[in-house]
Every structure is written in C-alpha cells, then in structure tokens.
Amino acid sequence: MSEREIKEKIPRQHMPEQEPRVRVKNYAEVPCGYTRELAQLEARRCLQCKKPKCREGCPVEVEIPAFIALIAEGDFAGAARKLKERNSLPAVCGRVCPQEDQCEKFCIVGKKDEPVAIGRLERFAADWEREQGSLFIPSKAAATGKKVAIVGAGPAGLTVAGDLILQGHAVTIFEALHQAGGVLVYGIPEFRLPKKIVQYEIDYLQRLGVGFRSIM
C-alpha cells in the first residue's frame, strides 16, 4: 500500500467538545481543541500537494501544507512560527475563519472524502504555543521611518497592523471603544471565541511593537 493510500484511509478527526449536559450550565468554549495525538493524526491526512489548492482559498496565503507537515512531525512550535509568517491572528482564525468556504473548500482530499481540518490544526498550533508559554516574536524588517495610523482595532485593523509592523513601519491603532478587537470582542459570543484568546493575539501585536490609542 502506498503512502498516499495510507493517508486516504485516515478519517477526518473529530474535535472533542463539552458534553451538552455540561455546556448548558456555562459559557465556556464548546470545542475543546485537538489533543497532540489527534492533531498529528489529522495532519497525516494532508497529501502535501506540489501545487496546493488550499493556499488559493486562503486570503492571507498561509503556507498550509508546510505548517501541517510540521504538526505531523511533532514540531508544534515550528508550526506556530510558520503560521505567523503570514497570519498574526492564528488562534482567532483557527476558531472563526470560514475555512469550509476558503482553504478547506479547495483541499484535494475533499474530492473523495472530508477535507483536511485545516482550521482545527491552525487552532491547535496557536493554542499549543500559548499554553506552553513559548510565544515566538518574529524578526522585523529594518525601520523604514514611516508611520501608519489605523482607525479601528477590529479584525481588519489588527491584521493590517500585524503585516505592516513586520515590514518595518511604525504602526498605531486608534480605537473608540473600551476594548480592542471590534466584532471579535463585541459580536462573537464567549462560547465561540473566548475574550482571553482575542486579548492574547492583541498582546502579541503589542509585543511586536504595535501601539494602541483610545480616542474615547
């Protein structure tokens, strides 16, 4: 049996969730995330296509096969670093990005079976980094001397700030509400996207050097 045939026999791995009788009594996140073992097994389903269609469906062009391969190898820190080369909010995107209509929609595995759970694997890598306390801060390009003001600390503002700060620009986000995050904080319920996850991503941007100013 070929390596591809072995991969094709691995079913898509279910993400553990709170039991219904438990979650009706709290506002905690419903999905619990993959364990190391489930993440590696799911990662093995990736065919490592030479021309990955999944990247065409990703708005920020994450190197999807590359970070999944690192998970399969057990290099979870490396997977988180690879994600952050293109995405400053992996823990958020792994939870609320519509993968089924973007990257997973183009997954070749999905032609015959369920697509590789790209979003769940992204969440796993980002959560692993946070839980291990091993936050990776990528190097930035040399300072350009240019200053950028971004109005609004919603997902769009946070994303462009993460991109521009790595390019060497000085970035400040101006926000009118009490807390940064926009719809991530004020529009998505806690059981879907915990506020602590959003804050962790914002803290990461601040450590990169992004400034936040209130205009209340």
Interval 134-152: pLDDT, tens: 888 888 999 999 999 999 9
What's the pLDDT at 99?
A: 94
The CA-based angle 131-58-182, given to 5 degrees, is: 60
Structure tokens at 110: 């999905």
Q: How far apart are CA 125 and CA 156, in angstroms?
A: 22
What is the largest distance, in Å, between two alpha-carbon atoms of the chain? 64
List the alpha helices (DSSP H) in the chain.
3-8, 20-23, 36-43, 64-72, 76-84, 90-96, 118-132, 155-166, 183-186, 195-208
Contact yes or no for 150/125 (Cβ under 8 A): no
- The backbone region for 85, taken as left when phi is positive above 0, alpha when psi lies in -120 to 50, beta otherwise, is alpha
Q: Please state which of the four CATH numbers 3.40.50.200, 3.40.50.720, 3.40.228.10, 3.90.730.10 is assigned to the domain occupying 147-214.
A: 3.40.50.720
Q: In CATH terms, is domain 3-132 a member of 1.10.10.10? A: no
Q: pTM of the predicted model, to two decimals?
A: 0.93
Q: Which two tokens stand for residue 135?
A: 């936050």
Q: In the beta sheet, which residues pair with residue 148?
A: 171
Mean pLDDT for the chain overall: 94
Asked if 15 and 41 count as a contact pair (C-beta separation under 8 A), the reply is no
Q: What is the pLDDT of residue 140?
A: 92
Q: What is the pLDDT of residue 29?
A: 95
Residue 1 has a pLDDT of 67
- Domain edges within the chain: 3-132, 147-214
Residue 87 has pLDDT above 80, yes or no: yes
